[in-house]
């Protein structure tokens, strides 16, 4: 029995490169950076003073004032991206289809901003002053919950929390739900709003963040020999995944097909990846096998590419393990060089980029690539976008705790 197939029929983005799909994609292709000095709090005392913040975002464009006040920023981002995706898909949720439409949106940290602010209120004013909305504004599953509520979707609903792999895992989990005939449509992706004093301080304490404070837009430099850490980012990406027959029946526009999904654990360390890339390679290979795609068919990889010394070298090894000699012929880019690392939202916005690569036959660059590292010796599409026929793209994500996930996307030719 053949598996049900899932295609992407709508996409929405809130990002440091723009708060809609076209702005995000155009700025990626133009190689623009969304990184600057932190504006949301005073970072003068922090070792890392830079971030990829979402700017000019107005929750009132998508939500009532009352609803927005009761949501953490990461939920607002998710709701905004979901509304964009629904509009892009020309999809209305109604009484007839609501039970076959689900929501699965991941996050890494959840309502961290709310948590920090309410903790300060507790310390300064006592427990009676803590907001009754603290818990529903803080918990990770509430991006999915709020999107389900605003859309009226009553199908499968959940949230995958796997650190920086959460967006990719959530899309993969939604893909499985459609394959298993538990839903016809899933709103899925990731959301994050973690540019807060506590989060930045924590990542600084781990020495995970770049300290190229003198050059914010040049600080994220994946696979470059002078990379020194990631730049923290925020935002959301939401995709409408739809069973192919359902999409064709209603005449939906199709961006690309989600053809395969793979996941694997490192079983190695709480924050460091397996240096040999075994788990990442396994996730990659499982995704290819699931899609019935050979390594030689892969045209493009949107890499995790965090701009940290260990990750980028490890990921290069993993790609070689998964693709063999073909690894040297595939185009690879890290869009984190422009968006920063959006943690639980990263895999979602990167999957969106991979889908647009399939549609447009255009590959975004890895900007700030200047210095060759012998440990990173593949084709990272340095600094300038490239025209390339992309029939098969892979987007992979790697999270703290050794969580590895990969998605395989195929160009859609309109043949069903």
User: Which are the catalytic amino acids?
Assistant: 164, 304, 341
The rounded distance, in Å, linking the Cα atoms of 288 and 219 is 33
Query: How many other CB atoms are found less than 10 A from the CB of residue 297?
Result: 15
HSE-up (13 A, CA, CB side) for residue 83: 16
Cβ atoms of 17 and 35 within 8 Å: the answer is no
For 238-263, b/e burial (b = at least 16 CB within 10 A) is bbbbbbbebbeeeebebbbbbbbbbb
Contact 357/332 with Cβ under 8 angstroms? no
Tell me the C-alpha distance between 404 and 415, whole Å.
32
Tokens of 35: 């990184």
> Using CA atoms, how far apart are residues 184 and 93, in angstroms rounded to an integer?
12
Which residues have C-beta within 8 Å of that of residue 34, sequence separation ≥ 6? 15, 16, 17, 27, 52, 53, 233, 338, 339, 340
Alpha-carbon distances of 235 from 70, 209, 283, 353, rounded to whole Å: 18, 18, 25, 14
CA–CA gap between residue 121 and residue 125 (Å, rounded): 5
Interatomic CA distance for residues 357 and 390, integer angstroms: 6
CB-CB contact of 219 with 136 (8 Å) = no
> Which residues are CB-contacts of 77 (< 8 A; sequence separation ≥ 6)?
14, 54, 57, 191, 192, 193, 234, 235, 236, 345
Residue 78 main-chain phi, psi, to 5 deg: -65, -45
Place of tokens 């701009």: 307
């Amino acid at each position: 029995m053949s598996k049900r197939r899932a295609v992407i029929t709508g996409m929405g983005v809130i990002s440091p490169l723009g708060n809609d799909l076209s702005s995000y994609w155009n700025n990626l292709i133009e190689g623009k950076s969304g990184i600057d000095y932190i504006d949301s709090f005073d970072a003068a005392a922090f070792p890392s003073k830079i971030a990829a913040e979402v700017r000019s975002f107005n929750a009132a464009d998508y939500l009532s004032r009352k609803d927005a006040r009761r949501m953490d920023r990461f939920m607002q981002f998710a709701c905004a991206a979901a509304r964009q995706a629904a509009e892009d898909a020309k999809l209305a949720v109604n009484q007839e289809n609501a039970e076959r439409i689900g929501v699965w949106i991941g996050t890494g940290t959840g309502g961290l901003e709310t948590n920090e602010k309410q903790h300060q209120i507790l310390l300064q004013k006592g427990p009676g002053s803590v907001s009754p909305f603290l818990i529903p504004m803080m918990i990770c599953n509430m991006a999915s919950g709020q999107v389900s509520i605003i859309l009226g979707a009553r199908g499968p609903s959940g949230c995958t929390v796997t650190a920086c792999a959460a967006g990719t895992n959530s899309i993969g989990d939604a893909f499985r739900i459609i394959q298993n005939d538990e839903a016809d449509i899933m709103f899925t992706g990731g959301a994050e709003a973690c540019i807060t004093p506590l989060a930045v301080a924590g990542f600084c304490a781990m020495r995970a963040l770049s300290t190229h404070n003198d050059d914010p837009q040049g600080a994220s430099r994946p696979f470059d020999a002078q990379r020194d850490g990631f730049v923290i980012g925020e935002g959301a990406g939401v995709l409408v995944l739809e069973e192919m027959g359902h999409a064709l029946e209603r005449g939906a526009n199709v961006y690309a097909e989600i053809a395969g999904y793979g996941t694997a654990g490192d079983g190695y360390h709480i924050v460091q990846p397996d240096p040999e890339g075994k788990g990442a390679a396994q996730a990659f290979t499982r995704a290819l096998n699931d899609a019935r795609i050979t390594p030689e068919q892969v045209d493009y990889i949107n890499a995790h590419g965090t701009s940290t010394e260990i990750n980028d070298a490890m990921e290069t090894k993993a790609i070689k393990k998964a693709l063999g000699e073909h690894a040297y012929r595939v185009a690879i880019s890290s869009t984190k060089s422009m968006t920063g690392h959006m943690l639980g939202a990263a895999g979602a916005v990167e999957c969106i980029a991979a889908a647009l690569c399939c549609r447009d036959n255009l590959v975004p660059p890895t900007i700030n690539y200047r210095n060759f590292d012998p440990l990173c010796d593949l084709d990272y599409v340095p600094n300038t976008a490239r025209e390339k026929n992309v029939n098969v793209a892979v987007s992979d994500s790697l999270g703290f705790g050794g969580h590895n996930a990969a998605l395989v996307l195929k160009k859609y030719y309109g043949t069903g």
